Chain A
Amino acid sequence: MAELKVGDTHEAVMVENITRTHIVKYAGASGDFNPLHHDDEAAKNMAGYPGVFAHGMYSMGLTGRMLTDWLGPTALTNFGVRFTKQVWPGDTLTSRAEVTDVQDGIATIKVVTVNQDGESVVEGEAKAKTD
Chain B
Amino acid sequence: MSDAATESLITDEMRAEIGKESEPWTCEVDKTAVRMFARAVGHTDPVFYDEAEAKKAGYRSLPAPPGYLGTPVFDPRTSDPTFGGRRGSGPGPQPSRPLKRILNGGTEIEHFDDICAGDVLTAKSHIASYEERTGSIGEMLITTTKTTYTNQDGKVVAVMTGTGIRY
Q: In the complex, what residues of A have CB within 8 A of residue B114's CB?
A: 74
- With A32-B71, A73-B45, A77-B110 as known contacts, state yes or no: A83 contacts B66, CB within 8 Å: no
Q: In the complex, what residues of B have CB within 8 A of residue A67's CB?
A: 66
Bound complex: CA A68 to CA B37 (Å): 14
Bound complex: CA A46 to CA B65 (Å): 32
Q: In the complex, what residues of B have CB within 8 A of residue A65's CB?
A: 41-43, 65-66
Interface 1/0 per residue, B41-80 and A, CB below 8 Å: 1111101100000000101000101111011111000011
Instruction: Flag if B107 contacts A31 (CB, 8 Å).
Output: no
Q: How many A residues touch B, CB cutoff 8 Å?
A: 37
Q: Does A15 contact B (CB under 8 A)?
A: yes
Interface 1/0 per residue, B117-152 and A, CB below 8 Å: 000000000000000000000000000000000000
Bound complex: CA A117 to CA B76 (Å): 38
Question: Which residues of chain A from 44 to 102 have a CB within 8 Å of any chain B CB?
Answer: 46-47, 55-58, 60-62, 64-65, 67-69, 73-74, 76-83
Quick one: which of B41, B45, B48, B109 contacts A79, CB cutoff 8 A? B109
Q: In the complex, what residues of A have CB within 8 A of residue B66's CB?
A: 60-61, 64-65, 67-68, 76, 79
Instruction: Flag if B57 contacts A55 (CB, 8 Å).
Output: no
Q: Does A19 contact B (CB under 8 A)?
A: no
Q: In the complex, what residues of A have CB within 8 A of residue B88's CB?
A: 31-32
Quick one: which of B36, B41, B42, B107 contacts A80, CB cutoff 8 A? B107
Quick one: which of A29, A31, A60, A76 contacts B111, CB cutoff 8 A? A76
Quick one: which of A28, A33, A76 contacts B36, CB cutoff 8 A? A28
Q: In the complex, what residues of B have CB within 8 A of residue A33's CB?
A: 80
Quick one: which of A28, A29, A47, A81 contacts B107, CB cutoff 8 A? A81
Q: Distance in Å from the Cβ of B105 to the closest Cβ of chain A?
A: 6
Q: What residue of chain B has the Cβ atom nearest to residue A122's Cβ?
A: B106
- 8 nearest interchain CB pairs? A64-B66, A80-B108, A31-B73, A61-B41, A56-B104, A29-B40, A61-B67, A82-B106
